[in-house]
Each structure stands twice: as structure tokens, then as C-alpha cells.
Amino acid sequence: MRPLEDVRIVSLEQYGAGPFASLHLAQLGAEVIKIEDPAVGGDVGRHVPPYAEGGDSLFFESFNRDKSSIVLDIRTPEGREVFHDLVRSADAVFSNLRGDVPEKLGIRYADLAPVNPRIVCCSLTGFGMTGPRSREPGYDYVLQALAGWMSVTGEPGGAPEKTGLSLVDYSGGFVAAIALLAGIHAARRDGVGTDCDLSLYDTAVSLLTYPGTWHLTAGYEPGRTRHSAHPSLVPFQAFEAADGWLVVGCAKEKFWQRLTVVLERPDLAEDPRFRTFADRARHADELVALLEELFRTRAVAEWLEALYAAPVPCAPVHDVAEALRDPHAVARELITETEHPRFGRVRALRSPVRLGPPGADTAPTRGAPAMGEHTGSVLRGLGYDDDRIAALARSGALGPIPAGGTAPWTSP
């Protein structure tokens, strides 16, 4: 059995951050029942270009493997009744909506405790459910700007820059997954559920970590650093070689001493300007200029061979294609495959969260679901017969009845 096979999560999730959170739980075995609103065409991630057609996209595939999808409008009385039946059998209700929406939809603990007192209501919103921005939508780019990230990313004197990936969304997803599991653990121990009020804003600000501590405690003013240099450890940055770029990092004194040997300049280790972390920080401009001149004399591969042998922490600056074919990525089995009726063989990234001995399998077992693909099977699992499902369909709780073709709730 996978670690979370006894966990059921009812999810009102969309786009990136929320689906990213439950992706890892699904691949650890949790049953994630994804409720998609038929009135808006389901999860907006289904329509993200460039690889999108017919209500499916490779963006959606990246975040929704191993989940079930049902179509349900929980704002209708009939849909609300179905939702409550799902809540009775679930451990958690998870959502990533605007901060004021959980109250409007009635998905907070106060709303659902009468249905299931052990339910955990985990809400990942842009700005949280309190505070002056709680009613504002929150997106990764917006949060990177607001939380100060863009002031410390990129080259000095350049335009504000975001990180290359949507790290606020993904970090927020990890935070939500941790909180949700903690909430379920406490509910099983104590017999009482709870709310989890999480936000992308809180996540982004908290990730300022030690530069934030330095600023709050000692007045430090964080800023951009040339060639992505560490703000205090020297040398620890990108260097240009004769044919490309590499990163070299001396996070311990022993690495600096080894680097001077690789550079064929052991005298630098005893130079009073560069002997310690503090000395090198004070004389960073002199030292970095000298190192840049030395690194330009050889190709990346030559430097890496010598640095690996020393050893000194280092890496080539890969593009995405190079990163995905790196031998270590292959050895760690980070790339997984699933089949999709429209896109064929989908190669994507598996969750890095693993439990058990080396080789324990947490790879996805199936691709992302079609919209509403599991509506019929989930409803039948709740004990609904064909007549009741047909009545639900007529009420509009399952969305519009297709003109011809097969409705998702007719699936077995």
C-alpha cells in the first residue's frame, strides 16, 4: 500500500498552486476527488496554451495525474447535497480560491462541521482569509513583486525580474500539503477537524528567510547581486568559462582552499585579503575580478572535471533540455510516463516526495482525468442509483446535458 491510501480529499482546486499541492498527495496514494464547476468549463488549467485542445492541456496533465474528476455545481441545492455526502466520507476539503470565496461557498470548518466534525478545511488563497487584501486575487507574478523577490532577482541595475519558475505557487502548494496532512493527523487523534488558512502571500514573505532576518534585526538592505552571487559567501556564484557558464560555491573554508589548488593559485588561500569568509567578503570585488579572469582560461568541461575531483561544489548552467537528460535525473527516475487519449504518451516530472526504501514506487499510475470522467463512479460509490443520478442531471447540478455523445455521469 502507498502511505496515504486511507486518505480521501475532496478538492475544489484550479490552475497551479492548488493542483500542485494535491498532486504529491495523490501520488502517495491519497484519493483526490477533484470537483470541477461545469458552469465555467472546469479547471482553467485545462485551457492553458500552447498545448491545449478539447478541454485538455499538457499544463493540466502536469498537475493532475492520479486524481478523479467529477462535475458538480455546489451552489445548487442538489449539488450541495451531493457535496455534503462527499464531505461525510472525506478527511479533508481542499481549495485554492480567493480569500473571501470559502465563506461564500460554505466550505469553512464552521460550515461543514455539522456534516462531519472531523473534516479538515484547508484553504490556500492568494492573501489569506483575513487582512486588507483578503478579497484580492493572488497570482505568482503578483506575489513575487509584492513580497520583494523581484528586487533581489537579476543583475544590478537591471529591470525587476521574477524567478524563472512559479516558485510562489509551488512553495504554497507544498505548504498546503504539509498543513493538510497535519490537520488530518490532529483530527484523527482528537476527533475534531479544523480550518487551515494558508496564503501565497504568507508563503512568499516567509521565504525571505535570512535576508529578512538580517533586515529586521540589523538593518541589512537586500539587493541584486552580480552573476547571481550569494549575498555573503565569496566565492559562490556563476562564472563565465571559455565556452559557457558554471556555478562554483565555497560554502565552507575547505572548499575555498581546494579551489585555490584547482585554480593553480594556492597562494590565494594564504593571502590575508582572502583567508577567511569575512576577509573574502570585505575584498569581494578584488577576489571576484581575479577569479573571473582565471575561469575564462578553460572550457566548462575542463573546470568541472577538476572541481569534481577536488571536490568543490559546482555545476554547469544547464538549460531545461540538458537538466532533463542529466544522468542523475535519469538515475533518480524523475521522469515518468502516462498515456493520454489525445496527447498519447505524456512524459512529465514525478513528485520528489518519496517514502520507504530506495526504489519504493511513488510514480503516477494514470494520467490526468478528463473533465467529469469519474462523476458516475463517485456518485455510485456514495450509493446513488441511476434514477437519482438522472434526477441530479435534470436539476442542472451536473452541468448542461450534452447534445448527443455521452455525459460523464453515465460512466460506470
- Give the number of other CB atoms < 10 A from CB of residue 191: 9
Cα end-to-end span (Å), the chain: 25
For residue 1, pLDDT over 90 is answered with no
Q: Which domains does the chain have, with CATH numbers?
A: 8-206+334-410 (3.40.50.10540), 226-317 (3.30.1540.10)
Least confident of 90-104, 224-238, 248-262, 346-360: 346-360
For residue 411, pLDDT over 70 is answered with no
pLDDT (tens digit, 9 = 90+) per residue, 172-227? 999 999 999 999 999 999 999 999 999 999 999 999 999 999 999 999 999 999 99
Rounded Cα distance between 147 and 303, Å, is: 37
pLDDT (tens digit, 9 = 90+) per residue, 242-287? 999 999 999 999 999 999 999 999 999 999 999 999 999 999 999 9
Give the pLDDT band of residue 109 (cuts 50, 70, 90).
very high
For residue 146, pLDDT over 90 is answered with yes
Rounded Cα distance between 229 and 239, Å, is: 10
Is the overall model pTM greater than 0.85, yes or no?
Answer: yes
The mean pLDDT of the chain is 94
For residue 19, pLDDT over 80 is answered with yes
- Give the number of other CB atoms < 10 A from CB of residue 182: 14
> What DSSP string describes 323-365?
HHT-HHHHHTT-EEEEEETTTEEEEEEPPS---SSTT-----S
Return the percentage of the chain with pLDDT > 70, whole number: 96
- Alpha carbon 343 to chain centroid distance? 23
List beta partners, residue 237. Answer: 248
> Which member of 230, 318, 328, 374 is catalytic?
230
- The arithmetic mean of pLDDT across residues 402-407, rounded, is 59
- Give the number of other CB atoms < 10 A from CB of residue 349: 12
For residue 412, pLDDT over 60 is answered with no
Q: Is 280 exposed, middle or buried (0-12, 13-18, 19+ CB in 10 A)?
A: buried
Q: Choose among 72, 92, 69, 93: nearest CA to 82.
A: 72
Decide: 119 and 109 in contact? Cβ < 8 Å.
Answer: yes
CA distances from 139 to 18, 62, 222, 309, 364 (A): 12, 18, 23, 44, 27
CA torsion through residues 177, 178, 181, 183, sign: negative
Q: Choose among 40, 61, 37: nearest CA to 51.
A: 61
Is 230 a catalytic site residue?
yes
SS3 97: coil
Range from 52-56, 325-329, 342-346 that averages highest in pLDDT: 325-329
Decide: 395 and 73 in contact? Cβ < 8 Å.
Answer: no
Cis (ω within 30 of 0) for the bond into 117? no
Question: Residue 359: what pLDDT?
Answer: 66
